[in-house]
Homo-oligomer: A and B are copies of this chain.
Amino acid sequence: MKKVKIALLGIGTVGGGVWEIFQTNKEEISNNCGCQIEVAKILVKDPAKKRDGSIPQHLFTSNFDDIIKDKEIDMVVEVMGGIEPAKQYILTAIGEGKHIVTANKALLANHGDELLEAAKNKGVKLYYEASVAGGIPIIHAIKESLAGNKIQQIMGILNGTTNYILTKMTKDKVDFSEVLKEAQDKGYAEADPTADVEGYDAAHKLTVLASLAFGASVEFQEVYREGISKITPIDIEYAQELGYAIKLLAIGKEKEGVMELRVHPTFIPESHPLASVNDSFNAVFVKGNAVGDLMFYGRGAGDLPTGSAVVGDIIAIVKDIENVKINGYYAHKKLEKKVKPMGHTEGEYYIRLIVKDKPGVLGAIASLFGKNNVSISSVIQKGEGIPEVSLVFITHFTKEENVQAAINEITNFQAVVELANLIRVENGKKRMGA
């Protein structure tokens, strides 16, 4: 299998996530792109500094020339952040014909046109999915999947810190400054929170998104920007009374060649999908003239979610370099996987029985569940004094075949009129994401 060599500029949060993903998902990644991707160099300030022991020491260099002059390195992945020297490194790498992946929203918002023009002229790719909304593939979607649409509107919750603060203010009815302090103590917010709470971060991301969605040049300075520091629990209470949630939204609209670009706290109806995007989650709502309303929801930050976006871009470029034609089902090879028989699946179960209302019936049924290793978490009985009543059970996490065996015995029990329904419970609260 052919090898493609890449270099990382920086190995902080995002770079560390990228490294971890390449280690953990080695097999999936090779299979998805039909070749091996090797991190051949990592640019750092101080190669001697103590770091993640899984990274071989010889990969570190403090000399950018080691990367730029290595003809075997096809791609430079910029995950160092900041404007300079990131910008100069990227331009130099483009000049050497290397493809670029970057997660740097501030750089793109301020110098995106210049960088992309340079990449276009040199015939290399510059991808930047990770620059907006972390792991959510919104850039790919706008750039490729929605290419047949005229995009009329984008509305995004693009900053996790402010969404976390607003959620907490709403739930606990506490002041902005109190939640901010707590978030800073926990490391969710920066010591200098200005970029997040005053909306600069969201405005950077809106600049990148709007430019793509509307196919125009967008200047960061043209984005209207207002932060959340003036929001009080009183405003949140009024919002709720009126049927709204307050969110920091990044809004881009376009009509007849005129764009609206603004970031500000916003009332949105509680019924709107963005209203229930809570905590540090991000979401982007897009309206296209063909596709209608679309929403993308996920983790907007963090080493692995952002790393996922970076690695997705790296794979896309590698497939292009290697001219891998992917037809959907087919990657490098088909994996051998088995299907689990339904009886072996596990979950919680809602079971509704119609039973004769006689003493001892509940006890007898409960015993039959127990005998089949099905334990019960809730029971509801309604409608006393009528001859036939509904008896509703929610089970604990258990095996489907145990439930079926119990049901088989229970429905043969003379006091049970019928099994009115059995419905599976997914993502039960106690096992979110199981």
Q: Say yes or no: B259 contacts A339, CB within 8 Å.
A: yes
Q: Say yes or no: B328 contacts A139, CB within 8 Å.
A: yes
* Complex CA distance for A425 and B272, rounded to whole angstroms: 12
Residues of B within 8 A of A260 (CB): 339-340, 345
A residues 335-354 touching B (CB-CB < 8 Å) = 335-340, 342, 345, 348, 350, 352
Contact with B along A181-220 (1 / 0, CB 8 A): 0000000000000000000000000000001101111110
Residues of B within 8 A of A326 (CB): 143-144
Contact with B along A260-295 (1 / 0, CB 8 A): 111011111101110010000000000111111111
Interface centre among A136, A139, A287, A348 (most CB of B within 10 A): A136
Q: Say yes or no: A28 contacts B150, CB within 8 Å.
A: yes
Q: Say yes or no: B268 contacts A427, CB within 8 Å.
A: yes
* Complex CA distance for A427 and B239, rounded to whole angstroms: 14
* Copies of this chain in its oligomeric complex: 2
Q: Say yes or no: A148 contacts B314, CB within 8 Å.
A: yes
Q: Say yes or no: A316 contacts B234, CB within 8 Å.
A: no
Residues of B within 8 A of A147 (CB): 28-29, 32-33, 311-312, 315-316
Verify if A4 is at the interface (C-beta below 8 Å from B).
Answer: no
Verify if A257 is at the interface (C-beta below 8 Å from B).
Answer: yes
Verify if A224 is at the interface (C-beta below 8 Å from B).
Answer: yes
Q: Say yes or no: B428 contacts A308, CB within 8 Å.
A: no
Q: Say yes or no: A290 contacts B307, CB within 8 Å.
A: yes
Say whether, besides A144-B140, A147-B32, A216-B337, A308 and B329 are in contact (CB < 8 Å).
Answer: no
Say whether, besides A224-B342, A234-B390, A297-B273, A327 and B125 are in contact (CB < 8 Å).
Answer: yes
Q: Say yes or no: A135 contacts B312, CB within 8 Å.
A: no
Q: Say yes or no: B350 contacts A425, CB within 8 Å.
A: no
CB distance from A221 to the nearest CB of B (A): 10
Verify if A31 is at the interface (C-beta below 8 Å from B).
Answer: yes
Verify if A83 is at the interface (C-beta below 8 Å from B).
Answer: no
Verify if A77 is at the interface (C-beta below 8 Å from B).
Answer: no
Question: Which of B17, B149, B266, B325 is within 8 Å of A308, CB to CB?
Answer: B149
Q: Can you name the residue of chain B whose Cβ is closest to the Cβ of A131?
A: B328
Instruction: Tell me which of A50-58, A60-68, A243-251 binds B.
Output: A243-251
Verify if A40 is at the interface (C-beta below 8 Å from B).
Answer: no
Verify if A412 is at the interface (C-beta below 8 Å from B).
Answer: no
Instruction: Tell me which of A84-92, A115-123, A362-370, A403-411 binds B.
Output: A115-123
* Complex CA distance for A325 and B147, rounded to whole angstroms: 14
Instruction: Tell me which of A5-13, A167-175, A298-306 binds B.
Output: A298-306
Verify if A417 is at the interface (C-beta below 8 Å from B).
Answer: no
Q: Say yes or no: A137 contacts B146, CB within 8 Å.
A: yes
Residues of B within 8 A of A305 (CB): 290-292
Q: Can you name the residue of chain B whose Cβ is closest to the Cβ of A243?
A: B429
Q: Say yes or no: A290 contacts B273, CB within 8 Å.
A: no
Q: Say yes or no: A25 contacts B116, CB within 8 Å.
A: no
Q: Say yes or no: B214 contacts A335, CB within 8 Å.
A: yes
Question: Which of B258, B293, B338 is within 8 Å of A258, CB to CB?
Answer: B338
Residues of B within 8 A of A218 (CB): 339
CB distance from A270 to the nearest CB of B (A): 10
CB distance from A213 to the nearest CB of B (A): 11
Q: Say yes or no: A211 contacts B329, CB within 8 Å.
A: yes
Top 5 A-B pairs, shortest CB-CB distance: A148-B311, A137-B145, A216-B337, A135-B291, A290-B308
Q: A135-B294, A148-B308 are in contact. List 5 more A-B contacts (CB 8 A).
A: A120-B327, A143-B328, A244-B350, A257-B338, A291-B305
Interface residues of A (CB under 8 A from B): 17, 21, 24-25, 28-29, 31-33, 112-113, 116-117, 119-120, 123, 125-129, 135-137, 139-141, 143-150, 153, 155, 211-212, 214-219, 222, 224, 230-232, 234-235, 238-239, 241-244, 246, 249, 251, 254, 257-262, 264-269, 271-273, 276, 287-299, 302, 304-305, 307-312, 314-316, 325-331, 334-340, 342, 345, 348, 350, 352, 378, 380, 390, 392, 394, 420-421, 423-429, 433
